[in-house]
Chain A
Amino acid sequence: MKRLVSLLVVALLAATLAACNQGATGPSGTLIVGTPKLNGDFIAGFSNSSYDNAVRTLIWGLGTYSTTPGGEFVVDETVVKEVTTSLDAEGNKTYAFELNNNLKWSDGTGITAKDYVFGILFAASPEWVAAGASSTLGDSLVGYAAYKAGDTKVFEGVKYIDTYKFSVTISAEELPYFYEVAYASFGPSPLHVWGEGIDIGADGSSLTGDLAAATQKVATTERFKPSVTSGPFKFVSFENDAVTLENNENFAGDYRGHKAKLQTVIVRYINQTLDVDMVISGDVDLVAGVIEGAKIEKAKDSDQADYVSYKRNGYGMIAFANDFGPTQYPQVRKAIAHLVDRNVFLQQILGGYGALVNGEYGLSQWMYVSQAAKVNETLVNYSFNVEEANRLLDESPYKFESDGVTPFDPAKAAEGYWRHDADGNRLTINHLGTVDNEITDLISTELPKGTNRAGIEFTVDWQDFNALLNNYYYGYSLGADRKYHSFNLATGFTEVYDPYYSLHSDFYGTWQNATGTRDAEIDRLTKQMRALDPEEKEQYAAYWFEYQVRWNELLPVLPIYSNEYFDIFNARVEGLETTPTYQWARALIDVSVKE
């Protein structure tokens, strides 16, 4: 009897230990992320908050393609069993996907090809626009324009084949394109929830049922509280500026098959002034994208905080109107570049945590990393140099005194002694910045120190960001009301680096080419870069280098600082590895917390 009891006790202990062990490998712990205010749109298409977008990254997933921490596009093999491509006689390229059969929504419903096809047809429909959403999903596919306009119910470029197969056909007009796979990257949308009474039509390229009612329902309910999700986390609530997410046990994994280790993630609004203090005090576990030197030093000094840092793929800049006033001349733009001591910005704004760039690149982009030495040697470094600025300006039309005849004398340069062109027009640069912006404030005090020594009258106006955007993006349409020649703002680069839309003369006189750049060499190179096959990386890098050299000569904008971002976290957080293209919301899948 004693032996039997002993055996039972041992068996019970063994079972308990096994259960404990099983529990230890499952998701656990709560991580609190402090962010600026969220808007509360958890389906894409309504507002532009990057913090809403971070939450969307946490709850939506299972796209056909993913990106690696290095920014490289890869087939998501957790999702796609097989992908094949084919070209038709007109040059349209079809991507046919076969999905794995183990994909599930957070409510346990199986994910099929219908969900992928529905997602494209839903977001590209005119009904989705009527519901107040905006989307460009599928805009590179055959038949997009006619479907979007409501001319036809059939979206030719999308095809449901069977339960686990579907295809998309990229229009020949969009090809070849170096980032082509981005055009074939689609995620699923929950047909069984969003599309009540809706099904894929017999042709496999249209929807049946009341799409208008479905889009309205999604826009007014699911948008704020998604009831099913496909990503690593399930949506629980958004109340009082805090989003609560729970682990999605039905998530098949990211492109590497990794599942989230955390049980709960809370994304909450905090006062950004106190963000690092709150990490140290344990009120929050993680704050991302810290750039202020004092805060970074505080985190470094604390044994309650740790950090991961990366160089920003982008920069703060002074953008010039290349099609208006004195800044239409490259000599004037380059002279201004030599009259700004950019190191002052690095020190005063970033506390030294940043770098200077001389082209349109970020320090973490693979194109730069692979040829950094050559780039640094070749591109002109626009350092503070009054003599060089005066030399450049003497090559511009602004080389006279006010009579338009007497040559401007740099030795006499001082406030009030300005350069003029032959018609007597004064060299005045009207700069526009935003209110409550320390960069604008610094520009207003720093730039005149240099420009006064080169005969440039530099004025600064402060307006709100909306007004700045109006003047910057739509300057070409302002006619006689146009006033500003330069603006300070910031830009960032995504995995798809395609300057065609922002600098090619095809877009001159539109908001896209906001600087009003028109240059044959830039046109050639931006087209050549995008027209390569995705495999031609070396050639792409070569064109990219040529493009940077030309850009550096033209200087359509002047990068004034490139930040180093610090993601600062509490000492109990483990496993956070972020990069410029793989930010905290993506990286959270590998994070755990010590309880």
Chain B
Amino acid sequence: MIKFLTRRMLSLIPVVFVISVMLFGMFKMMPGDPVLLMIPPGLRTEEQRRDAYDAISQRLGLDKSIPEQYVAWMGNMARGEFGTSTTYNRPVKDVIAQPLKNSIILNVFSLILAFAVSIPVGIKSAVKRHSFFDSFWQVFSLVGLSIPVFFIGLVLIFVFAINLRWVPAGGMPFNRGDQIGYYIAWGRHLILPILTLTIGSLAGTIRYVRNAMIDVINKDFIRTARSKGLSEKVIIYSHAFRNALIPVVTLVAGSLVAIFGGSAITETIFAYNGIGYVLISALNSRDFMVVLTMNMFYAVLSLTANLVMDIGYALVDPRVKLD
């Protein structure tokens, strides 16, 4: 196991290096000059503007050659310094810290809810194929897959926030000294975004779990288990579900990245201060350092998730050997 982990982690180094060169190269090739957006309005002369441009370029290290900029960037990344956001004119880590935390909160809750609903529903749908229960969730899945997330979000807002006024239409709670009230407000603000994300992801997850279970239920060893007289509960949950977990592990590991990834559309609809919105804004405003940092983060996270997935396979499937 340790040998496997060491080998896999060493093999990640050149992958990370290649990804970093590609990302840096791509962003440098993009048209547009972010420094121009940082120059404050009201400068009256060409000289003032040029001075401001030079000062900003120098401060951000953008006056150096591209290889020098790359080396400086990687060196800083290794030290945990991610550069300066050109949009916010402050360190990237300050810009992304709060939104990243907010996105993790939102995504963890919605993932837990999505799996909490979809795994039992998927199993029951597979076991009771073609029943009313199964048909209902099949139709629900199809509808859920067909409706875009922004539409689900807007419908929920108009019904529960604008018309019924049960929950806020969006935004973030503000702390006015009362900590309990603040946490209650947090909960109220999270309800609609969580519901939107859950409904959006539920459809796919239910179908995934259902199909995985159906595949396993039709296997010979399940028939053997039945012929041995084992109870249906033991067959489903001890034999079938454990085997069906293998594809589900892939799904869960993939969701690890999604937890940190933010959900730009949902966050925009609900004016939720999350990392998805920050990333889209950064792309639109050529905020290279924010985009580069986040993309590198996601690249490393994806590689790590793959590693976790391999370990997960070994844990749920004794046939998989890590060596």
Q: B132 near A: Cβ within 8 Å?
A: no
Give the contact stretch, choosing among A43-51, A401-409, A413-421.
A43-51
Chain A, 1-59, CB within 8 A of any chain B CB: 34, 37, 39-41, 44-48
Closest to B88 in A: A39
Can you report 27 A-B residue pairs in the complex whose CB atoms are below 8 A from each other? A34-B171, A39-B88, A134-B39, A134-B43, A134-B52, A134-B56, A136-B48, A240-B174, A241-B171, A242-B174, A268-B171, A269-B273, A270-B169, A270-B171, A271-B268, A274-B162, A278-B170, A280-B162, A282-B165, A283-B171, A466-B32, A466-B286, A467-B32, A469-B36, A470-B31, A470-B32, A511-B49
Q: A533 near B: Cβ within 8 Å?
A: no
- Among A34, A224, A283, the residue within 8 A (CB) of B161 is A283
B51 contacts across to A, CB distance below 8 A: 129
From B55, B98, B170, residue with most partner A Cβ within 10 Å? B170
Closest to A131 in B: B59
CA distance A171 to B37 in the complex (A): 30
CA distance A237 to B172 in the complex (A): 14
Q: B14 near A: Cβ within 8 Å?
A: no
Contact A136 B36 (CB under 8 A): no
CA distance A209 to B89 in the complex (A): 27
A265 to chain B, nearest CB (A): 12
Q: A460 near B: Cβ within 8 Å?
A: no
Q: B102 near A: Cβ within 8 Å?
A: yes
- Among A269, A470, A512, the residue within 8 A (CB) of B171 is A269
From A269, A274, A282, residue with most partner B Cβ within 10 Å? A274
From B44, B162, B169, residue with most partner A Cβ within 10 Å? B169
Q: A501 near B: Cβ within 8 Å?
A: yes
- On whether A274 and B157 interact (CB within 8 A), knowing A470-B36, A507-B46, the answer reads yes
Contact A277 B169 (CB under 8 A): yes
**Which residues of A are at the interface with B, using a C-beta cutoff of 8 A?**
34, 37, 39-41, 44-48, 129-130, 132, 134-136, 139, 224, 237, 239-242, 244, 266, 268-271, 273-274, 277-278, 280-283, 463-464, 466-467, 469-470, 473, 501, 507, 510-512
CA distance A134 to B170 in the complex (A): 35
Given contacts A34-B171, A129-B55, A281-B161, 13 further A-B contacts (CB under 8 A): A45-B40, A48-B41, A129-B52, A239-B174, A240-B174, A241-B172, A242-B172, A269-B172, A278-B162, A278-B170, A283-B171, A463-B31, A466-B36
Q: B7 near A: Cβ within 8 Å?
A: no
B98 contacts across to A, CB distance below 8 A: 239-240
Chain B, 270-323, CB within 8 A of any chain A CB: 270-271, 273, 281, 284-286
A237 to chain B, nearest CB (A): 7
- Among A136, A268, A280, A501, the residue within 8 A (CB) of B174 is A268
- Among A241, A281, A507, the residue within 8 A (CB) of B271 is A241
Contact with A along B28-42 (1 / 0, CB 8 A): 000111101111111
Closest to B48 in A: A136
Q: B263 near A: Cβ within 8 Å?
A: no
- Interface size of B as a range: 35 or more
Q: B175 near A: Cβ within 8 Å?
A: yes
- On whether A244 and B174 interact (CB within 8 A), knowing A134-B39, A278-B169, the answer reads yes
Contact B284 A464 (CB under 8 A): yes
From A224, A278, A467, A510, residue with most partner B Cβ within 10 Å? A278
Contact with A along B66-105 (1 / 0, CB 8 A): 0000000000000000000001111000000010001000
B37 contacts across to A, CB distance below 8 A: 48, 466, 469
CA distance A266 to B161 in the complex (A): 20
CA distance A140 to B109 in the complex (A): 57
Q: B176 near A: Cβ within 8 Å?
A: yes
Contact A240 B52 (CB under 8 A): no
B46 contacts across to A, CB distance below 8 A: 507, 510-512
A269 contacts across to B, CB distance below 8 A: 171-172, 271, 273
- On whether A237 and B175 interact (CB within 8 A), knowing A47-B89, A270-B170, A271-B269, the answer reads yes
Closest to A224 in B: B90
Closest to A264 in B: B176
CA distance A425 to B161 in the complex (A): 60
